[in-house]
Amino acid sequence: MVRLAIISDTHVPSRATAIPEWVRTECERADHVIHAGDFDSPEAYETVREYAPALTAVAGNVDPDSLDLPEVATVELGDVTFVVTHGSGPLDGYRTRVVETVLDHGGTDAVGVSGHTHQVLDETIRGVRVLNPGSATGAEPASRTTMYVVTIEGGEVDVELRES
């Protein structure tokens, strides 16, 4: 079994002072952490990198270029391919952009992970499961602090929303 923590849109320090301790604990307990962009600063990126056992991360629209993160990343965990993108751009067309990215990089069997909207999403669109964990710090416009804890066993993906 693989345990995966999925977070996004931490926005430290522009919209939050720190990543909550409970989010950090969930990440430390995971085998792998996915961050779908908008760390906001090199310090926030380094913080996540320090406590993540393994990290897959992509650039968000407010991340500094110095982080040198890819726009799209693909990682295989427990026989499941995850395609990670921030989903930057206007909210209108967000789902289409994310699904097209997943199809281009992993096909319909891949799970898409995105951020950007700060709104929780677990939806199948055009045959692609798309997960958006919301904001791990509750950064506006989120109304709460959220993340996903995913377990993968035998190719099956079980997604649990954690929130405060």
Q: Say how many domains are in the chain.
A: 1
* Residues 6 and 34 sit within 8 Å (Cβ to Cβ): yes
CA dist 50 and 116 (Å) reads 23
Kindly list the strands in the beta sheet with 2-7, ordered across the sheet, starting from the edge strand earlier in the chain: 55-57, 32-35, 2-7, 146-153, 156-163
pTM, two decimals, is: 0.97
How large is the average pLDDT for residues 73-83? 96
Q: What does the pLDDT read at residue 87? A: 96
Over the range 4-16, which residues count as b (16 or more CB within 10 Å of their CB) and which as e? bbbbbbbbbeebb
Residue 105, burial from CB neighbour count under 10 angstroms (0-12, 13-18, 19+) = middle
> pLDDT digit string (tens) for 30-40?
999 999 999 99
The mean predicted confidence, pLDDT, of the chain is: 96
Which domain, by its residues, includes 48? Answer: 2-163
We report the CATH number of the domain holding residue 39 as: 3.60.21.10
Dihedral sign of CA atoms 42, 48, 51, 52 in order:
negative
Banded model confidence at residue 150, pLDDT cuts 50, 70, 90: very high
Q: What is the DSSP letter of 103?
A: H
β-bridge mates for residue 164, sequence order: none
How large is the average pLDDT for residues 83-93? 96
